[in-house]
Amino acid sequence: MSKVSIIFVYNADSGLVNEMKDYIHKIVSPSEYECNLCAITHSNTGMKGEWKSFVNDLPVPVVFLHRDEFHEKYNYPGVSFPCVYLERGQRLDLLVASDEINECNNLDDLEALVKDKLKFISGN
């Protein structure tokens, strides 16, 4: 059986300087912050406990990547961020599109969306 994992990709780049810019941007102008995945799942002190519990309870391993890390690892053209992919062996399938994540208003919306997509994939 091939390895399966869920890849959450932020609409932000990695690195300390970028993290500091994002931190300040979320405080100064939260409504204009470009990563709804970050905005929903993280507070100014890090990943929200409810979200951490949710991803830990998912039936497959979860990976979090920034967009620069995603491009470096997968070199996958035409990706809109934030997004969620399902990786099965060498295959990468879009699980949740950026517009779907951007329509979420809170953790409950995002968690329901991810659960719904996983049901569709597993056929349950």
Q: Domain-by-domain residue ranges, the chain?
A: 4-122
Give helix 49-56 / helix 107-122 axis angle, nearest 10°. 10
Question: Strand 46-47 to strand 62-66: parallel, antiparallel, or no bridges (unpaired)?
Answer: unpaired
Task: Note the pLDDT of residue 106.
Answer: 95
Task: Report pTM.
Answer: 0.83
Determine the Cα–Cα distance for residues 48 and 22; give it in Å rounded to an integer. 16
CB 114 within 8 A of CB 120: no
Task: Note the pLDDT of residue 30.
Answer: 54
Task: Note the pLDDT of residue 42.
Answer: 84
Task: Note the pLDDT of residue 27.
Answer: 54
Average pLDDT per block of 10 residues along the chain, 124 residues long: 85 70 56 76 87 94 94 89 92 94 95 90 55
